[in-house]
Structure 1
């Protein structure tokens, strides 16, 4: 009895794999050998094409037995192959970009015709209206322009004051009649400075005019001046106004003004401004000393309601130097004054 139990116990492990895999040998009909010919014909028609490498165990393949040298690659003669047909030929040169060397030069007869060739066909009278309209379109027309660059109230220590700086012109793009006026004073007192200029202005460069004329001072001692100067727009958008004045007494003075309109928003601009006044000699009756008479430096913040109308606020510092400062102290004035300004700029 004990012997039978021992035999049974020894046979059970041997039978277990067969019980655990009852369908072993029936899963892969292609690998089953004898059962390959008994597949369902309908299932064979519906099946995907068989992978030729399916069922191959590359892990058991002896790659050492495979003779890769059997395929003689030397049999392919690359020298007889047409590489240009395969897209390996020399690349075509890129098309040259257009430029001065490729442009067709004008014919020799270009520009040699009559300056008014249309007159020979249509007649001078028929072309007169078109010619006049062309001249007007290209700038041969008159303009009137007026601007109050500064019209302001000045708050300062002591008596508050006012100032105006006006200019305008009438003419065409090359020849104009210019007029300018500046003045300032303190409330409750006579006007300290008042001048008027009348100038002929001639364009000497795309952005600069040469101006000449006279200036008349109407406040203080009656003084007349001959004026010559240059006004225009310098590089980086600096507006310059320079002038040399020769009085009827022979006094020579000069003035240089510069300002820059810098837009910081669509309707908001900031304008730094500087003015320098010079003199070749002392003019005691006008309180002017030789050398640098005075120097002004200020900044204004402007808001454009429309382009033609813009109120502003700002601050400006004025210094009198040298002999001019001495003349100011002798007259009971402060040679250094700070002005807080509120004004409006307009033009039309």
Structure 2
């Protein structure tokens, strides 16, 4: 063998030796990387999503994972690796509602109602110790007690009412009149039975006795009184006397509260007759209208002095009868008085 053949064999042996070492190193490196990958891969116990596909599985199969259909109640959250979460605090899965029984008892259960609780809520009533309003009541009101300066001295007038009875049935007394120069010009008294027909209205039936002017006379009376909408107090009464005489009286008043104690009271009253009565100075039709405006101050609800102005005017034959007696057909006067009730 010549020198050239020896050199070629030597080079071939060195090349084979180098190739053998390279394959061994490559196999060693790949085995280490495989071991490291297996160590880093999470075990089946750490991600125990029974019956679910992982994201890697979904990527391999090419199908998206529908989390809305996943049954999280079967997930083993106790084995999950929470170390990769940014929040180091533990997760309260019970508060998240996973696996909470529907019939779980409240934290502070409501105690059952006992007989003692019922007795305390609904105590027995002692009717003998309760105060009831009396069945019979009474009320007296002097709406006007007033005086004024007249041509022949001073004048006085009154108008009042009183009742006694129950809420439904009452006996009513009403009276009004005038005096001037020490002489009674007019006065009357009514006694009537009143029956409540609504919370605001009463029907009245009874008798009326006129004492002045001239001779006294008696009337049968029928009427209605009460409070209309907007708190207007109304009264309408018809009278039937002897000899076919008939008459009627209409009255309306209203209390306008300027303050809690200062009250302005407008009032209007109209008298009608359906037959001439010269003896009493009354003509047919509208006899007279009286309109007043009184301002009172209530020191108490029971006692209220007032000052006001009153205008009175007669019409038709009634005005003629007054002129024949030397009296004016119309008159305006300033009055002072007091309103009281008890």
What TM-score, normalized to structure 2?
0.61
Larger radius of gyration: 2
- Give the superposed CA RMSD: 2.3
Q: Which residue of 1 aligns with 2:140?
A: 146
- The Cα of 1:158 is off from its aligned counterpart by 4.6
**2:98 aligned partner:** none
1-structure distance, mates of 2:166, 2:149: 40
> For 1:251-279, what per-residue CA distance to the aligned partner results, in whole angstroms no more than 9, with x for missing partners?
10000011001110121000000001011
| C-alpha distance in structure 1 between counterparts of 2:307 and 2:207, whole Å | 32
Partner of 1:14: none
Q: Determine if the alignment matches structure 1 residue 223 to structure 2 residue 223.
A: no
1:208 matched to which residue of 2? 201
Aligned length: 220
Deviating above 4 A after TM superposition, structure 1's stretches of 4 or more consecutive aligned residues are none
Contact persistence 1:154–1:340 (CA under 8 A):
yes
Give the Cα–Cα distance (whole angstroms) in 1 for the partners of residues 127 and 205 of structure 2.
35
- 1:265 partner SS: coil
Residue 179 of structure 1 is matched in structure 2 by 173
Distance 2:333 2:267 in 1: 14
Residue number in structure 1 paired with 2:189 = 196
Question: Quick one: distance in 2 between partners of 1:232 and 1:257?
Answer: 11
Instruction: List gaps (5 residues or longer) in structure 2.
Output: 1-65, 69-124
| Residues 1:309 and 2:307 are matched in the alignment | no
Q: CA deviation at 1:157?
A: 4.3
Query: Offset at 1:310?
Result: 0.2
1:292 to 286, 292, 306: 286
Question: Within 1, Cα distance between the matches of 2:341 and 2:205?
Answer: 23
1: CA distance, partners of 2:192 / 2:161:
11
The corresponding residue for 1:245 is 239
SS in 1 for 2:244: coil
Match of 2:319 in 1: 325
Q: Is the 8 A contact 1:292 1:322 kept in 2?
A: yes
Distance in 2 (alpha carbons) for counterparts of 1:287 and 1:218: 14
2:150–2:180 CA contact under 8 A, matched in 1: no
1:345 aligned onto 2:339: yes
Counterpart-to-counterpart distance in 2, 1:215 and 1:175:
19
Give the TM-score taking structure 1 as reference length: 0.60
Q: Do the aligned residues in 2 keep the contact of 1:156 with 1:337 (CA within 8 Å)?
A: no
1:130 Cα deviation from its structure 2 partner = 4.6
